[in-house]
Structure 1
Amino acid sequence: MIDELRTERLLLRPLTIDHVDDYHRVYGDPRTWVHLPSGRHTSRGESARAIERSMLSHRAHGFGHCAVMLREPVDGLPAGAFLGSAGAAMLGFDAWNLGYRLAPEAWGHGFATEAATVALAAARDARPETPVTARVLANNTSSVRVLERLGLELAWSGASSAAPSGPDDTTHLERLVFADRPLDDATLDAVIALG
């Protein structure tokens, strides 16, 4: 199990329930959900459940999402500042889902690429046989650039349904699926179906 990851500027530690207020500050901020407003956390409990899922992933699979914190001050952000989260979660089938979300004050510094790079390496170390995937909305060009910088390859683009089946369904939105290796048809179909 991975206890801590370090980069030149960042420290990544597995999320715990102690991070819930900082995590909710980021995940509840509408600015971090411009591309998918329905994904915003509307309660502290929703953020706590997401952290609990990450903690379960760490225990069961050796990795999950991590709190991303600054090691040293950067452009007015203090050392130890909680910037957001980055990591990979095991999906309901044998594939990782790489993800990251940072507070608006952390944008524009390259932190997402830095955190995602070390998270990708950690997922590969935890389960080298398991593909690492990442889903992104096609109009989220900043996130697309991060995935391209990581060297992930575009595996699919499109919408998995023509229209939403309910208020929380995002399968009709134009998405891109990236992966660190070619995916078999069943795995790719399962990732696409997630929306």
Structure 2
Amino acid sequence: MSEVAATLDTMIDDLRTDRLLLTPLTLDHVDAYHRVYGDPRTWEHLPSGRHTSRGQSARAIERSMQSRRTSGFGHCAVVLREPVGDLAPGTFLGSAGAAMLAFDAWNLGYRLAPEAWGHGLAREAARVSLDAARAVRPETPVTARVLAGNTASIRVLERLELELVWSGASSDAPAGPDDTTHLERLIFADRPLDDETLAALIALG
């Protein structure tokens, strides 16, 4: 069971599930956030994505805060409400949510600490995030991009009943050391996408 609480008609505040509390990310979360995003185990499928500085994590949080200010929702801190395994209530697990892209589409995503894996928490956080994005802007598609080798995340998206709308690589070869558009990805969405939106998603890599 999950609960979506909205304020100011279009802005999502706290989200709750049976086991989780999701609260909007702020810079107060930066150290805990960086511990997750700086952990190489959470970037097994994309090592170049790992956050190598606290400043990089702070900028990611600021982008989420901007999405919430302009679109009503962004990424949230994920905290345990109930004990799970060896994890105690109040434990910061990572982040989950949806951020508005530069075009009219939500980008659903999550990243949890390895200690949280294997308990169904990612799906729980992703489900309430999907519901929140739909509640804020029901006319806007919710999309998710995942590397083809990340089978765990693919299973999460499939269990959310998102549809696979594209698979492939956005380019034949990387344009630079930080470019990952040549990697095979899958794009999921909660509805059919128009050609322009799909093309924009593919271009993101």
TM-score in same-fold range (> 0.5): yes
Q: Does residue 152 of structure 2 align to residue 142 of structure 1? A: yes
Q: Which residue of 1 aligns with 2:14?
A: 4
Q: Does residue 172 of structure 2 align to residue 194 of structure 1? A: no
Distance 1:113 1:73 in 2: 17
Structure 2 letter corresponding to 1:19: H
Distance 2:63 2:132 in 1: 18
Q: Deviations over 1:69-118 (max 9, x none)?
A: 00011111010100000000100000000000000000000000000000
Q: Which residue of 2 aligns with 1:36?
A: 46
Structure 1 letter corresponding to 2:30: V
Question: How many aligned positions are there?
Answer: 195
Alignment counterpart, residue 97 of structure 1, candidates 99, 102, 107: 107
Q: Which residue of 1 aligns with 2:168?
A: 158
Distance 1:56 1:78 in 2: 31
How far 1:193 sits from its partner (Å)? 0.3
Structure 1 letter corresponding to 2:38: G
Alignment counterpart, residue 139 of structure 2, candidates 129, 136, 145: 129
Q: Which residue of 1 aligns with 2:7?
A: none
Q: Which residue of 2 aligns with 1:19?
A: 29
Structure 2 letter corresponding to 1:70: L
Q: Which residue of 1 aligns with 2:8?
A: none
Q: Does residue 95 of structure 2 align to residue 88 of structure 1? A: no
Q: How high is the TM-score relative to the length of structure 2?
A: 0.95
Distance 1:166 1:74 in 2: 42
Of Structure 1 and Structure 2, which has the larger fraction of its residues in strand? 2
Q: How high is the TM-score relative to the length of structure 1?
A: 0.99
What is the correspondence of 1:41-56 to structure 2 with a 5 Å cutoff? 41-56=51-66
Distance 1:46 1:135 in 2: 21
Distance 1:43 1:158 in 2: 31
Distance 2:23 2:84 in 1: 19
Gaps of 5+ in 2: 1-10
Structure 1 letter corresponding to 2:77: A
Structure 1 letter corresponding to 2:33: Y
Structure 1 letter corresponding to 2:63: R
Percent identical across equivalent pairs? 82
Q: Which residue of 2 aligns with 1:63?
A: 73
Q: Does residue 184 of structure 2 align to residue 174 of structure 1? A: yes
- The 3-state SS of whatever aligns with 1:2 is strand
Q: Deviations over 1:36-88 (max 9, x none)?
A: 00000000000000001101111110000000000011111010100000000
Gaps of 5+ in 1: none
- Compute the RMSD of aligned alpha carbons: 0.4
Q: Deviations over 1:121-175 (max 9, x none)?
A: 0000111000000000000000000000000000000001000000111110000
Distance 1:172 1:181 in 2: 26
Structure 2 letter corresponding to 1:105: E
Distance 1:128 1:167 in 2: 38
